[in-house]
C-alpha cells in the first residue's frame, strides 16, 4: 500500500484524482463528487503523516492545484489525528479554515461526542460541586443527617441546591437558619447558612464565607436542550464526592401532573443519568460544562428515570429571591387545559357550540371566590389573549403574569362559537401551601 501511495504521489503523468484517491486509500478518507464539485475527507495516521520518506509538501501542492484546476471548489480536507498547522495550508488561502488543537476545541452542547468530551465537561464543573450535610434532630438531640449536593454559582460563596436537602419541610422557619456543613472537592470545609428556600420548586440557596477564592460553575440555558442531547449528573451520592454519571435528555418538558405531583403546573427535565440518594441538589450539566438543571428526584421503582429543575426556571427563582426574598406567585383561581387540534376537534364533535378556535387554553373550572370568579370567568371559556398577547400554553400565561400581584390584566376569552368576551382580572399572591 505504501509503495502504491508513493508511486501515485510522485507520478508526473498520472491523474490528480488518482493521486488523491491513493492518499485516501492509504488512510481512511473518501472522495465523492457532486454537481457543485468534489469533497475530500482524509484521516492521516500519525505514523504516515510524520514519515520522512513521504513527500507531504508535494501532496499539499497537489491538493491546492487540484482544487483550482480540476474540481473548482474543494469543500474539505481534514485529518482526524491531531492535524498540524502545516496541514491547514492544504486549503485555499482565501477560504482557509483555522485548525485548532483538538484539546482546545469545545464541542457544542449536545454535539459531537469525542473521547474526552464527557471528561472535559466533568473537569470544568467538578471543582464547583460540593457535598452538603445537615444535622437532623428532635429537641436538640441529633438523630441523623440529611445529605445532598450543591453547586457554587457565585464567587461570593452562593451555593445552589434543593430545598429538601437543607430545610425541614414541616418547620421551614425554624430550620432555615440552621447549620449546613459544606465540603468542597479540594477538601476544604465550611459552615453555611440557608439564605432562601422555596418549597414549591424545591430550590434553595446556601451561603458560605471564604477568605480564599472559590471555584464557580457557569449557568447555561435549558431551553437549548433537545431530547437525545448528552448530559452528565454530578453530585455526592451516599457522600461519595464528585460522582459522575452520563446519559441523555429523555424529555425537556415533563409536566408535574405526569408525575402525580400536586400544586401549580411545573416542568422538569427528564434524564436517564443515574441519580441516587445524595445527588439531590447537584447539577445536570451539558457537554460545555454548563449547569442546565438541578437534580431533584428519581423514580424509585425504575432505573433511568431522573428529573431536574430546568436552569431557566431556577434563574427566575433566584431573581425572585434577590428582589423579594421569596418567590412571588400570582394566583387567579383557574383550572386550565392546553388545547391542540385533536382536542379541539373532539370537543367540537361533542359540543356544537364550542368556540371556533385553533388554539388557546380551556377553563374547565373556576374556583369560587377567586379573582377569576370575581372577574367573570365561566367554565368552558377559552383564553386566547392574555395581557394583549396570544397564548397557547399555561407556561406562557404564567410567564406573562410573572410577579404582577395586584395589577389589572386584560384577558380575551372565546365563550362560544359566536361570543368573544374581554375580562379584567387582578391576581392575588398564591398561598405558599397551595
Of 270, 229, 259, the residue nearest 107 (C-alpha): 229
User: Would you tell me how many other CB atoms lie within 10 Å of the CB of residue 394?
Assistant: 18
Spatial separation of the C-alpha atoms in residues 148 and 129, rounded to whole Å: 11
CA 428, 430, 431, 434 dihedral sign is positive
* 180 SS3 class: strand
Cα distance between residue 413 and residue 428, in whole Å: 20
Distance between CA atoms of 147 and 164, rounded to whole angstroms? 10
CA-based nearest residue to 185, from 218, 155, 215, 163: 215
For residues 330 and 341, what is the distance between their CA atoms, to the nearest angstrom? 29
Which residue has 448530559 as its cell numbers? Answer: 231
Q: How far is CA 186 from CA 122, 182, 189, in A?
A: 15, 12, 9
Q: Which of 149, 164, 308, 313 is catalytic?
A: 164
**How far apart are alpha carbons 388 and 400 in whole angstroms?**
10
387 counts as catalytic: no
In SS3 terms, 264-306 reads as CCCEEEEECCCCCCCCCCCEEECCCCCEEEEEEEECCCCCCCE
- Which residue do the cell numbers 386584560 mark? 410
* Residue 139 is among the residues annotated as catalytic for this protein: no
- Indicate which residue of 133, 201, 202, 288 is catalytic: 202
Cβ contacts of 78 within 8 Å, gap of 6 or more = 41, 42, 43
Which member of 280, 313, 320, 381 is catalytic?
A: 280
Query: Does residue 233 contact residue 245 with C-beta atoms inside 8 Å?
Result: yes
Could you give the CA distance from residue 336 to residue 346 in angstroms, rounded to a whole number?
Answer: 17
Q: How far is CA 162 from CA 281, 293, 344, in A?
A: 4, 11, 39
Rounded to an integer, what distance in angstroms lies between the CA atom of residue 89 and that of residue 95? 10
- Asked about 65 being catalytic, the answer comes back as no
Q: What sign for the dihedral angle of Cα 422, 428, 429, 431? A: negative
Active site residues: 164, 202, 280
Amino acid at each position: 500500500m505504501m509503495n502504491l501511495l508513493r508511486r501515485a504521489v510522485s507520478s508526473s503523468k498520472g491523474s490528480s484524482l488518482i493521486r488523491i484517491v491513493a492518499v485516501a486509500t492509504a488512510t481512511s478518507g473518501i472522495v465523492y463528487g457532486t454537481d457543485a464539485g468534489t469533497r475530500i475527507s482524509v484521516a492521516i495516521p500519525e505514523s504516515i503523516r510524520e514519515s520522512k520518506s513521504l513527500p507531504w509538501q508535494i501532496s499539499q501542492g497537489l491538493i491546492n492545484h487540484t482544487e483550482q484546476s480540476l474540481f473548482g471548489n474543494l469543500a474539505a480536507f481534514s485529518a482526524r489525528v491531531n492535524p498540524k498547522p502545516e496541514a491547514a495550508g492544504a486549503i485555499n488561502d482565501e477560504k482557509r479554515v483555522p485548525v485548532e488543537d483538538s484539546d482546545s476545541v469545545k464541542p457544542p452542547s449536545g454535539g459531537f461526542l469525542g473521547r474526552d468530551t464527557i471528561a472535559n465537561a466533568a473537569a470544568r464543573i467538578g471543582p464547583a460541586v460540593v457535598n452538603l450535610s445537615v444535622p437532623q434532630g428532635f429537641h436538640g438531640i441529633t438523630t441523623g443527617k440529611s445529605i445532598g449536593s450543591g453547586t457554587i454559582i457565585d464567587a461570593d460563596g452562593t451555593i445552589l441546591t434543593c430545598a429538601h436537602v437543607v430545610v425541614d419541610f414541616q418547620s421551614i422557619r425554624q430550620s432555615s437558619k440552621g447549620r449546613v456543613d459544606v465540603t468542597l472537592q479540594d477538601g476544604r470545609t465550611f459552615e453555611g447558612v440557608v439564605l432562601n428556600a422555596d418549597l414549591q420548586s424545591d430550590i434553595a440557596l446556601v451561603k458560605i464565607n471564604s477568605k480564599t477564592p472559590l471555584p464557580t460553575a457557569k449557568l447555561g440555558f435549558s431551553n437549548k436542550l433537545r431530547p437525545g442531547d448528552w448530559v452528565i449528573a454530578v453530585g455526592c451520592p451516599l457522600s461519595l464526592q464528585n460522582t459522575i454519571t452520563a446519559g441523555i435528555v429523555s424529555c425537556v418538558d415533563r409536566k408535574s401532573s405526569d408525575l402525580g405531583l400536586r400544586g401549580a403546573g411545573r416542568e422538569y427535565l427528564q434524564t436517564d443519568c443515574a441519580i441516587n440518594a445524595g445527588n439531590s441538589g447537584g447539577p445536570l450539566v451539558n457537554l460545555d460544562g454548563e449547569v442546565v438543571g438541578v437534580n431533584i428526584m428519581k423514580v424509585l421503582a425504575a432505573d433511568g428515570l431522573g428529573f431536574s429543575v430546568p436552569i431557566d426556571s431556577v434563574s427566575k427563582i433566584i431573581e425572585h429571591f434577590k428582589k423579594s426574598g421569596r418567590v412571588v406567585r400570582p394566583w387567579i383561581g383557574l383550572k386550565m387545559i392546553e388545547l391542540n387540534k385533536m382536542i379541539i376537534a373532539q370537543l367540537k364533535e361533542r359540543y356544537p357550540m364550542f368556540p371556533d378556535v385553533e388554539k388557546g387554553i380551556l377553563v374547565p373550572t373556576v374556583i369560587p371566590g377567586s379573582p377569576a370568579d370575581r372577574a367573570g370567568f365561566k367554565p368552558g371559556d377559552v383564553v386566547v389573549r392574555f395581557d394583549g398577547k396570544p397564548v397557547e400554553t399555561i407556561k406562557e400565561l404564567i410567564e406573562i403574569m410573572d410577579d404582577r400581584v395586584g395589577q389589572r390584566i386584560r384577558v380575551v376569552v372565546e365563550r362560544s362559537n359566536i361570543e368573544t368576551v374581554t375580562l379584567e382580572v387582578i391576581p392575588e399572591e398564591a398561598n405558599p401551601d397551595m
